Structure 1
Amino acid sequence: MDKLALLTKLKDLNREFSFTKNDDGYEFSVTISLNTIIQLTDCIDHGIPISAFLLNEMYIELADLSDNIGSTVKIELSSKGLKQKKLTIFNEWTDFLSFKPNLLHPPESFIILQEEIVHPSNSIDGKLKHFFDISNFLHLLNDNADHSTKVTSKVIDELVFLHKSRLDIPIILPIDCLDDALDGYSIVDSLFKDDSHTEQKSSIFKEVMYGLLINIPMKERLGYLLLNFGEFSKRFNENYQLFVSEFSFDDVRKEYEENKRDYLTKLNDIFSSVQTKMLGIPISLAIASLKMSSVVDGISFWTNFLLAISITIYSIMMFMLIANQKHTLSAVKSEYKSQMTRLKHQYSEQYESIKKIQTELDTRHDFQKSCLNWFYVMSAALFILILALFTWNLPWKSILGLA
């Protein structure tokens, strides 16, 4: 018979005969009958560790029961026999909780006689579920504690948390903590199972616990925390969600500020690439004014002609460069408008801040566009002036036959 079946059989025996605890284990009394003899024989055959039969202060064997029909016999279950069968029995919850290793490391299987609780079972509810939630929470406390006082590898006497000052929490679990569920425990548990913001979660956990327990007498702190777990879980969840929202806001702000810098850099690069080349306009005018002269012979004509052609080609190249940069400028505007629209939809709470950044980018775009338009005008003016200067220096008198 497996362990669960044995524990269930012990529970049924206790329900029928009411076990009492003695110095060596448990005992119960039965009135001997054929049915009880069959029942006890079946229990022994299936592994229930009945250690002795006591009749009138004398120990007898199972076979002797049939000779004493109608008498009352005391039946003993020794602690040694129960341990050999790995059957963990507790009379009531107080006994279970007073055995300290149970708090953090509950037995795989056990029975609590007065409550008729058998574990494992098909359903875990009531005090049993409350206990397992508390045990899991004690592990959570231990994981987030700064120090712990260990009696053995399975027994922790006290947990120490360091926040504004030292907070000591002795592991003393009052039985009335099992009466109600840990309100909000599933929320706390799910938050800690999430691997994000681990350090911040631990810090918030300590902060909330410190605020709740610092004025509570030391030995009552664990009980107070468990009995007021709803308030604790609410504060912890609210503080953590506040941190997450602020953290998310910082991420959003970082994203759109980086986008702003990137697009401003692109807009400035468009202007800078043309600005450097526009320095050629005053240089071209200076060369033209110095080198062009009245045409008096073939050499002076070809000098003026080649100079005019060179500056004309330069002007045409500037027209093409400016046109290309204007196309690039339009593409950058289209890109940042699309990006800002996405950000405004994705982070609607930051709409005004993102809109302000888009306005700044639009202002810079319009300025760069007006500069490129002025470069168009300057290049056109250079082209016209060179043509006019070349034309002016032609030998019109000879051409018109006036000389």
Structure 2
Amino acid sequence: MSLKNIIDLYRYLNKPVYDSNNRRFSFNGSYTNTLRGKLSEIDFNSKFIQDADFAINGDFVNIDDGFPNCKKNDSIEFTIKLAPDGLIAFHLSWADFIYAANYELIKCNYPEEFYIVEDDYYSKEDGINITDSKLKILVKLVNYLSSQAEGTYFEEKFLCLVYFCKSEEGIVDKMLLKINFNNPTLLVDKIDSDIFNELFLKESDDLLINEKKNIFLTTLNDFLRPLSEEIRFISLVTEIKKFQELFLNNLKLYFDKFSFQKIRQEVANAEIDFSEKCSKTLSDIQAKLLGIPISLAGVIAIFNSKDKYEILMLFIGITFTSLILTSTVKVQLNNLNAIKSASKNVFDGFINRYLSCPETLRDMIVNEKRMLDEQQKETSMWLHIFLILSLSPFVLSLIFIMVIYIPRIFFLYS
């Protein structure tokens, strides 16, 4: 036998007046086979019933002997008094239920079986009851608040949650949140808990779940600290939309800051990468550029030489050296142009992608691009100087030969 048998009887009797103070209901009417069947299904010695009095046609009925068969025009009168205490019981209204279940609710133990007379709502039947849904969300919220508290204790009819919060001045202070469900204003508005669902989960794939929880607690402190302890929980529930807006705003500010740092790191890494590549175009040819002064020494040797074969060999050596150096510098110039093109595309992409970012971030990107452009311009200048220097031994030696030695040869053979 369960509470459902008593509820079925109560509904069959067309829900007579329920005296919540004395926890009883009465009936006076026809005694039928259907009613006899309903009564026979109930164990009147169960934990749900404290007392029951029956009279058929004015005669007392001993329920231990069972209910007699029905006769035509039989009438029955009875009063059933339900057992005191216990949550598996009849409750006239949700307010009565909350009053009776307050201690279990603040411990986050939601009763599985109960009956609300005014709503004709039995908790184990299919269907959705708005108040029931609200209470379950509240219990879920309290459960989460409790899990994040530094300490919990019970004080009379309150669950007290202790939080330690750090102020902007760095001072750690205690905030107390007293929770009691026994207040009708808690059930006035619909409670939207969608944004908290991921916080209520014991396990989450969100890599930033801890940051979100910290922001939740910070928002809770900012929202409740100015209020007195007695109204903090009521204010949190009745103004849950305002609290959610504050939480989402704080969440947005955090992620904007997080994104800002991420973008800064991304831009800085790109600047460092292109800067290193730019520097490498010079460092890679430093050893080879030592061939320039050697070639210039060869030019001096040509100028001082009197032997035409020696001059020819020196000229050939200088020519090959100049060609090698020139081609090497030319390759590095091509690499630099490729680096300049790539860096322009990357930084232009940064600027276009982060148009909506704070002005300081856009200025940082532009400044990084400007400094990189200056470095590339300076590198390009040095590479062009080295290109000219690479060609200079060949040009000078050619001039010496054409201006000095060729006329001398013609003069000797003329």
Fold-level similarity (TM above 0.5): yes
Alignment-derived partner of residue 28 in structure 1: 25
User: Hey, what does 1:306 align to over in structure 2?
Assistant: 313
Distance 2:264 2:221 in 1: 32
Query: Which SS does the other structure have where 1:279 is aligned?
Result: helix
Distance 1:8 1:267 in 2: 85
Structure 2: distance between partners of 1:225 and 1:183 = 11
Give the TM-score normalised by structure 2: 0.79
Alignment of 1:3-402 (within 5 A): 9=8, 12=11, 16-20=15-19, 26-35=23-32, 38-42=34-38, 44-45=40-41, 53-55=52-54, 60-61=62-63, 62-64=66-68, 66=70, 69-78=74-83, 87-97=88-98, 98-99=100-101, 100-103=103-106, 104-149=108-153, 157-164=159-166, 165-181=173-189, 184-189=192-197, 195-290=206-301, 293-295=304-306, 300-350=307-357, 351-390=362-401, 394=405, 397=408, 399-401=410-412
Higher mean C-alpha deviation, range 303-312 or range 389-398: 389-398
Aligned-partner residue type, residue 27 of structure 2:
V
Distance in 2 of aligned mates of 1:107 and 1:43 = 26
Q: How many equivalent pairs are there?
A: 388
Structure 2 gaps of 5+ residues are: 167-172
Shift, 1:127, TM fit: 1.9
SS in 1 for 2:161: strand
Residues 116-143 of structure 1: per-residue CA shift (max 9 Å, x gap): 2222454434322221221111122123
CA deviations 1:166-189 (Å, max 9, x no partner) are 111122123323332355532343
Q: SS at 2:128's partner residue?
A: coil
Structure 2 vs 1, CA of residues 157 and 311 (structure 1 numbering), >3 Å: closer, same or farther?
Answer: same
Query: Displacement of 1:390 after TM fit?
Result: 5.0
**Residue pair 2:5, 2:41 contacting (<8 A) in 1 also:** no
Higher share of residues assigned helix: 1
Question: In the superposition, relative to structure 1, how do residues 365 and 19 fare at CA in structure 2: closer, same or farther (>3 Å)?
Answer: same
When structure 1 is superposed on structure 2, of 100-109 and 190-199 the one drifting more is 190-199
Unpaired runs of 5+ residues, structure 1, are none
2:95–2:184: 8 Å Cα contact kept in structure 1? no
The aligned amino acid for 1:75 is: I
1:109 to 1:307, Cα distance in 2 relative to 1, 3 A: farther
Q: CA deviation at 1:88?
A: 4.9
Q: Secondary structure at the residue paired with 1:181?
A: coil
CA-CA distance at 1:323 after TM superposition: 1.8
Distance in 2 (alpha carbons) for counterparts of 1:389 and 1:398: 13
Q: Tell me if structure 1 keeps the 8 A contact 2:275–2:372.
A: yes
CA separation in 2, counterparts of 1:250 and 1:203?
A: 19
Distance 1:192 1:130, change over 3 A: closer
Q: CA deviation at 1:4?
A: 9.7
Q: Is the 8 A contact 1:284 1:311 kept in 2?
A: yes
Q: Quick one: structure 1 residues 192 and 282, their matched pair in 2 at CA, closer, same or farther if it must change by over 3 Å?
A: farther
Q: 2:387 corresponds to which letter in structure 1?
A: Y
How far apart are the structure 2 equivalents of 1:344 and 1:196? 28
Q: Distance in 2 between matches of 1:229 and 1:215?
A: 16
Q: Does the aligned pair in 2 maintain the 1:32–1:73 contact within 8 Å?
A: no
The match for 2:169 is none
CA contact (8 A) 1:145 1:159 kept: yes
RMSD over aligned CA atoms reads 3.7
Alignment CA distance shift 1:20-1:374 (3 Å): same
What is the TM-score with the length of structure 1 in the denominator?
0.81
Counterpart AA for 1:31: N
Deviation at 1:73, TM superposition (A): 1.7
Identity within the alignment, %: 20
1:211-242 alpha-carbon deviations (Å, 9 max, x no partner): 33224332332222212222222211111111
Is the contact made by 1:17 and 1:29 (CA closer than 8 Å) also made in structure 2? Answer: yes
Comparing 228-237 and 348-357, the one that deviates more: 348-357
